[in-house]
Amino acid sequence: MNCSEAEKRIQHFIDSKLTATEEAAYIEHIRNCSSCRQELMSQFTIDHVLKSMNGTAGDDISYDMRSLLNSRIIESEKWIKAEKLRKRVLYTAVALGEIAAAACVLFEMRGGFVWNLIEQLLGK
């Protein structure tokens, strides 16, 4: 991700509207790019002040913006990890399902042409 892409994603990041993949790329960028980190810090601060004025900032009325932003990023990374894990579990389940389906097909073919061929190939 380059700086102009990162810039476009600042508000989406603040509003938690990025996908896990986008958010991971964005966080990686701001970790390595001080100007984008600064830009995020300013927009995050403005956003927080506006929400505080509207009373939508929740119980969090702290103005230690650096630590607020840090905890936001830590939350984000937890979420990204959870999303990755969820996807991995899903893919594994799909893969297992496919293996099971393939095994069923082979089982049904048992005694049939394909099964005989396999047995011949295995020398039985």
Q: How far is the CB of 101 from Zn ion (least distance, A)?
A: 47
- Least Å distance, CB 67 to Zn ion, is 22
Placement of tokens 């630590």 in the chain: 67
Which tokens belong to 58? Answer: 């929740």
* Strand ranges, E, within 11-117: none
Minimum distance, C-beta of residue 11 to Zn ion, in the bound complex (Å): 15
Give residues in contact with Zn ion (CB under 5 A): 3, 6, 33, 36
Residue bearing tokens 């790019």: 33
Cβ-based nearer residue to Zn ion, 6 or 14: 6
Q: How large is the C-alpha radius of gyration of the chain? A: 25
Of the pair 34, 54, the CB lying nearest Zn ion is at 34
Take residue 7 and report the two structure tokens written for it: 């810039």
Q: Measured from the CB atom, is 26 or 76 closer to Zn ion?
A: 26
